[in-house]
Amino acid sequence: MKNRILTIALLFSGLGSFSCHNQVQEKPVSKADTTTQSIPKEDSLLNKIQSQTLQYFWEGAEPNSGLARERIHIDGVYPQNDPQVVTIGGSGFGIMGLVVGMERGFINKEEGTQRLDKIMDFLGKIERFHGAWSHWYHGDTGKVKAFSEKDNGGDIVETAFLTQALIVVREYFKNGNDLQKSIAKKADALWKEINWKHYTNGQHVIYWHWSKTHEFGMNHAVQGYDECLITYILAASSPTHPIDTAVYNQGWARNGAIKSDLKKFDIPISIKHNAKPGEVGPLFWAHYSFMGLNPSDLQDAYVNYGDVVKNHTKINIAYSEANPKGYKGYGADKGWGWTASYSIAGYDAHHPDNDKSVISPTAALSSMPYAPKESIAFAKYLFDQLGNKVWGKYGFYDAYSETENWYPQRYLAIDQGPIVVMIENYRTGLIWDLFMQAPEIQKGLKKLGFKSPNIK
């Protein structure tokens, strides 16, 4: 099975509800500010979703490494032949989820601290490629599992998803007890060992992969716009192996060609999606880079990323209301949200122009900071109308289709993780605050010319 990252590579040739908070560090969870304050009933609903989804990364983790399994299948209809395989990007999302879980009391803080210590030690022992991790590893042995023939080395995008979490952990634990401070130091060392500059191959663009046997043979340039913005932010912010500003401007921003005047459902797209003309990509593009990076009014010389993610979400909601194919269970107060996930025929990168009647709960739930009313309505619809068809041991299952009466009991790490983190960013801004307060991130964003209320 391909996961969403390379599936996308093969398939494709306004911001009123964000909460902004001061530093969050070793303190009880507070209510969101008055713009997003939860009523008690809503608190109970969101606690239920977050706490049960987090179990994927807690009880469901691979035991030797402590990292997230690539997938977990609950029933035997879809056999799972590689339960020991762990995912680096999905583990990054899960690590941020563990921070949420400790802060909210979903997991014991002492036990959570011990788990993170175990994870940092494992990440420090396994093979890396100029500091970058591979896409997959065997959690029981620590050996690399090739994602494809040539993708058997470093994956700088998966590494970026994990690195967000390393910085969050460092900031969360840096003033803690002795063990927590030790974990913070381990996370800091791992982050500083990543050679982002190597992955430019001497060019003004970042390349996704490098291996000892194929070097840059995959030849996949990372350019905007998709889920990879965080890779450039971290690469520019690195205190040890940074990229030049020209790499961002020419590589990610395509010398300004990243801007777009196109609209969909009369909603500005604002940015050139790596999709066919006139289309928008899957909604995970609005999530992965923004789990730590707060997009609220975050602007570079080309676009406002707050508008980008909010409008991407609005387009999905508008499509669900239009429901041009007449699929069952669609609507702004029912089912909406399209992203890469399991599908009726394998795995697919769903979006409004590639709609197979399959809805992926992570799409709407992870968009809660951008469209809280519609995201919460979606969650209530799932509980009230579909119940155990879509809800199980680790929260909502990966995907479903009311039209096809299709309710597989299976999970993917990269879909479960954003649910926990992005709901928390809506509620308290916890992960946004921890990541954005990091001095290197502040410096890196300024270096690239970004402006934001969260850049001091």
Q: Which of the four pLDDT bands, split at 50, 70 and 90, describes residue 1? A: very low
Q: Is the pLDDT of residue 246 over 60?
A: yes
Residue whose entry in the numeric block shows the structure tokens 């790490």:
413
Residues pairing with 340 in the sheet: 349
> Tell me, what amino acid is at 162?
L
Rounded CA separation 447/114 (Å):
36
Rounded CA separation 95/112 (Å):
10
Do 166 and 190 contact (CB within 8 A), yes or no? yes
Q: Is the pLDDT of residue 177 over 70?
A: yes
Mean pLDDT of 325-345: 97
pLDDT for the residue 393 = 97
Mean pLDDT of 249-265: 97
The dihedral of CA 431, 94, 285, 206: what is its sign? positive
pLDDT for the residue 408 = 96
Task: Output the CA–CA distances (angstroms, integers) from residue 327 to 297, 366, 405, in the order listed.
Answer: 35, 22, 11
Q: Is the pLDDT of residue 308 over 50?
A: yes
Do 172 and 25 contact (CB within 8 A), yes or no? yes
Do 420 and 367 contact (CB within 8 A), yes or no? no
Q: Which of the four pLDDT bands, split at 50, 70 and 90, describes residue 13? A: very low
Rounded CA separation 230/292 (Å):
9
Do 12 and 275 contact (CB within 8 A), yes or no? yes
Rounded CA separation 339/275 (Å):
13
Q: Is the pLDDT of residue 22 over 50?
A: no
Rounded CA separation 63/213 (Å):
30
Residue whose entry in the numeric block shows the structure tokens 């590579």:
9
Q: Could you report the per-residue pLDDT of 116-175, keeping only the tens digit for each?
A: 999 999 999 999 999 999 999 999 999 999 999 899 999 999 999 999 999 999 999 999
Q: Could you say which DSSP state residue 83 is in?
A: T
Rounded CA separation 240/217 (Å):
26
Write the CB contacts of 240 (distance below 8 Å, at least 6 apart in sequence).
192, 193, 194, 195
Domain boundaries of the chain, sorted by first residue: 15-447
Q: Is the pLDDT of residue 425 over 90?
A: yes
Task: Select from 106, 105, 102 the least CA-distant residue to 116.
Answer: 102
Mean pLDDT of 35-58: 84
Token pair of 270, please? 């604002």
Task: Output the CA–CA distances (angstroms, integers) from residue 353 to 5, 175, 403, in the order listed.
Answer: 18, 48, 17
Q: Is the pLDDT of residue 430 over 50?
A: yes
Residues pairing with 348 in the sheet: 341
Rounded CA separation 294/249 (Å):
20
C-beta neighbour count of 233 within 10 angstroms: 25
pLDDT for the residue 75 = 85
pLDDT for the residue 76 = 79
Question: Burial level of 221, CB count in 10 A (0-12/13-18/19+)?
Answer: middle
Q: Which of the four pLDDT bands, split at 50, 70 and 90, describes residue 38? A: very low
Task: Report pTM.
Answer: 0.92
Mean pLDDT of 218-223: 97
CATH number of 15-447: 1.50.10.140
Q: Which of the four pLDDT bands, split at 50, 70 and 90, describes residue 41? A: confident
Q: Which of the four pLDDT bands, split at 50, 70 and 90, describes residue 79? A: confident
Rounded CA separation 277/273 (Å):
8
| H or E element, residue 103 | helix 88-104
Lowest-confidence region among 56-60, 277-281, 363-367: 277-281
Rounded CA separation 130/122 (Å):
17
pLDDT for the residue 12 = 35
Q: Is the pLDDT of residue 404 over 90?
A: yes
Rounded CA separation 46/74 (Å):
23
Q: Is the pLDDT of residue 20 over 70?
A: no
Q: Which of the four pLDDT bands, split at 50, 70 and 90, describes residue 40? A: low
Task: Select from 406, 407, 411 the least CA-distant residue to 388.
Answer: 407
Q: Is the pLDDT of residue 17 over 90?
A: no
- Kindly give the pairing relationship between strand 346-349 and strand 340-343: antiparallel
pLDDT for the residue 77 = 77
